[in-house]
Amino acid sequence: MRSSLLVLFYLCIVLSSYAQETLLSKEALAQKKVYTSFAEASKNPQDVYVLRLSYQNYGFISSEIANFSNLQILDLSFNKLKKLPAEIKMLKNLQYVYLDRNLFEEFPRELVALTNLKELHLNYCHLKHLPPSVGNLKQLQELSLYGNEIQDLPSQIGSLVHLKYLDLTHNSISKLPEEIWTLYNLERLYLSGNSLSGTMERISELEQLQELRINNNWLVDYEALCQALAKISTFKRLSLGTNNLMVIPETLANINTLEELYLSGNPKLDFAQVFQVLGQLPQLEELNLSLSQINTLPSEISYLKGLKKLNLGVNQLQTLPAQMSSMTTLERIDLTSNQFSEEMKGKAQEILPQALIIF
């Protein structure tokens, strides 16, 4: 009896190891045949690693999907699905699942059984809540929930310890759970278009964070937020567009690692103050001030000595200040949809002869 149990034990270990070995990298999966027809895939189910059935008007998916035991990438985006077949839980090798633009309304509970899942996209699926069981997806590295109706997040989201990318853009979230600040591997966090408020001071605990998008969240304490971001040595990109800002936080000058800043859609800004603050950022290379109703650039823009890319599109500019000639690192400037005459276009090129200027 004891020997039989030992044999069974070792057999389980071998089978488990084999299952792990069958998980392929994205690079290896890129070499696999892509099936775009369920009928074609069904002819050789064991050969199906990548199944892309987007834009095919599916209202349901057959339970026969369980036959694709090696399936690792599944794309069912842009269909009319309201639910997934229960049999999808049997596809233990699934790593990448894309379900954007379907009609679910509720988070498909079958997904929480897919414990090898690394990427999950459910953009524009009318979701209102995430179940606590989402915390079962402990291997998840990328979760995209753009354009839903989610009002709150379960505390179990803190169990997604391998998460690197979290997109919650355009939902109805007013408060983030404290557990979100324990996602220590998070690199990109997108929160634009919600109803967030408060200081978000604990964001400094996300020590690997590189990018934060928090456009169109008027009630956030941005002074405190920028002070917290300054404590993250990996932080590079910040989006504060369409936030009704009149000045930018002075503490933004403390984010010494910042390389890219997006301030588009803030027409009330005091741009002289903006450039005085940004002139203190040694690494800033890219700045977006599009859609800001700017008719005159203050001379303080010349403080941005290291800038390489500048977007001033969709404003009301007719000229550039002569002081910009000192911005010798500028490589590209977007001036589309402004009010430059042919003569002023020529003068702009004289001021910035090294730069590609797009009118």
Residue 2 pLDDT exceeds 80: no
Q: Which amino acid is at 150?
A: I
Structure confidence at residue 138 (pLDDT): 97
The alpha carbon torsion through 132, 133, 139, 142 (nearest 10 deg) reads -60
Vertex 266, ends 262 and 271: CA angle to 5°? 85
Task: Return mean pLDDT, the chain.
Answer: 94
Mean pLDDT, to the nearest integer, of 59-81? Answer: 98
CA atoms in the 13 A half-sphere facing the CB of 214:
25
Structure confidence at residue 4 (pLDDT): 52
Structure confidence at residue 3 (pLDDT): 53
Would 66 be classed as within a structural domain?
yes
Would 15 be classed as within a structural domain?
no
| Alpha carbons 112 and 75: distance in angstroms, whole number | 17
List b or e across 286-324, with b for residues whose CB sees 16 or more CB atoms inside 10 angstroms: bbbbbbbebeebbebbbbbeebbbbbbbbbebebbeeeb
Tell me if 254 sits within 8 A of 278, measured CB to CB: no
CATH number of domain containing 97 = 3.80.10.10
CA distances, 340 to each of 163, 292, 300, 344, 348 (Å): 46, 16, 21, 6, 9
- % of the chain beyond a pLDDT of 70: 94
Structure confidence at residue 199 (pLDDT): 87
Would 99 be classed as within a structural domain?
yes
Helix (H, G, I), strand (E, B) or coil at 225: helix
Residue 17 pLDDT exceeds 70: no
Would 67 be classed as within a structural domain?
yes
* pTM to 2 decimal places: 0.92
The more confidently predicted of residues 346 and 2 is: 346
Structure confidence at residue 184 (pLDDT): 97
Structure confidence at residue 123 (pLDDT): 98
| Alpha carbons 73 and 93: distance in angstroms, whole number | 9
| Alpha carbons 135 and 154: distance in angstroms, whole number | 9
Mean pLDDT, to the nearest integer, of 307-319? Answer: 98
- % of the chain beyond a pLDDT of 90: 92
| Count of structural domains within the chain | 1
Residue 7 pLDDT exceeds 70: no
Structure confidence at residue 12 (pLDDT): 47
Q: What residue numbers bound the domain in which 104 lies?
A: 26-186
Structure confidence at residue 14 (pLDDT): 42
Mean pLDDT, to the nearest integer, of 284-292? Answer: 98
Tell me if 83 sits within 8 A of 108, measured CB to CB: yes
Residue 96 pLDDT exceeds 70: yes
CA distances, 97 to each of 21, 117, 158, 294, 297 (Å): 20, 8, 21, 43, 47
The more confidently predicted of residues 199 and 184 is: 184
Would 138 be classed as within a structural domain?
yes
